[in-house]
Amino acid sequence: MPKKFLLGLAAVAAVFGLAACGADNQAATDNASQTEEQGQQAMPEPELDNIPEVVAVVDGKEISGETFAENYEAQFQQLAMQAQMSGEEPDQDKLKQQALEMLINSELLVMEAEEQGFSASEEDVDEYLAKMAEDNGLESSEKLMEELKGQGLSEERIREDLQKEVLIDQVVETLDVKEPSDKELKEMYDTQVEQLEAMNEQVEEEQAQEAPSFEEMEPQLKQQAVMQKENEAISKFLDELRNDTEIETKL
């Protein structure tokens, strides 16, 4: 099933705001939206001058400056918004390094998938695309493709990136990811309720939101916890891959 997309398809992350740590609760989302509206006018343009022809070489395979620029431009708004939400001014040099790391991580996992003998057919990509459309509340794969094309990517490029995501998913499925415990879910719930209560203290009484019950939140909490554990496992695995791989960055 589709994962976080932070490791590969930048366009998906840019369109839907999908992040590695999972979806926040509704209160946090509303707060983030408000922050976004406040910072939107001040959002700078992505700086794409002086990008080298090759930005990195991973085990002898080059990542082109053209590929980097396309990905960076697609995910720039999301990365810059995250920086602003944390109270920082967007540092494009730092954001470019983050974007480059995403591309390198993706390449490492695709190489590992190929090493393990995994494959991704056109039918696999079609199925993946359909599941993505469903998960994001879109009526069809065609509608999702239109949204992604709106990010400036061609259908051929989108399908190439989705093929990588299919391969990455197969690698992720081999990792040992433990199920979250009831205690962990309850701790997550308590934290989110505290965040909501803190937010309610800063708004008018009629704008305050009532916290849903643990039972109502449990499916979402479990999804968040699983995604967090998956990302921890991915991060650990990537560290192992990096130790065994020659990586040269030129950005």
Please count the helices (runs of H) and the strands (runs of E) in the chain: 9, 3
Q: What is the pLDDT of residue 19?
A: 32
- Over residues 122-156, the pLDDT tens digits come to 999 999 989 888 888 888 889 888 887 876 678 88
Per-residue pLDDT band for 36 (boundaries 50, 70, 90) equals very low
Angle 155-173/214-243 helices, nearest 10 degrees? 90
Average pLDDT for 75-85: 75
- Over residues 184-235, the pLDDT tens digits come to 999 999 999 999 999 988 888 888 889 899 999 999 999 999 989 988 999 9
Q: What is the pLDDT of residue 3?
A: 45
Three-state SS for 150? coil
Residue 50 has pLDDT above 80, yes or no: yes
Three-state SS for 244? coil
Q: What is the pLDDT of residue 104?
A: 94
Residue 165 has pLDDT above 70, yes or no: yes
Per-residue pLDDT band for 43 (boundaries 50, 70, 90) equals low
Cα atoms in the Cβ-side hemisphere of radius 13 Å centred on 10? 26
pTM: 0.72
Provide the terminal-to-terminal Cα distance of the chain, rounded to the nearest Å: 33
Give the bridge partners for 54, in sequence order. Answer: 64
Average pLDDT for 162-175: 91
CATH topology of domain 10-200+212-243: Triger factor/SurA peptide-binding fold (1.10.4030)
Q: What is the pLDDT of residue 90?
A: 76
Q: In sequence order, what DSSP letters do the residues of 206-218 get, joined into one string? A: GG--PPPPHHHHH
* CA 191, 195, 196, 198 torsion-angle sign: positive
| pLDDT, greater one: 81 or 60 | 60
Q: What is the pLDDT of residue 47?
A: 87
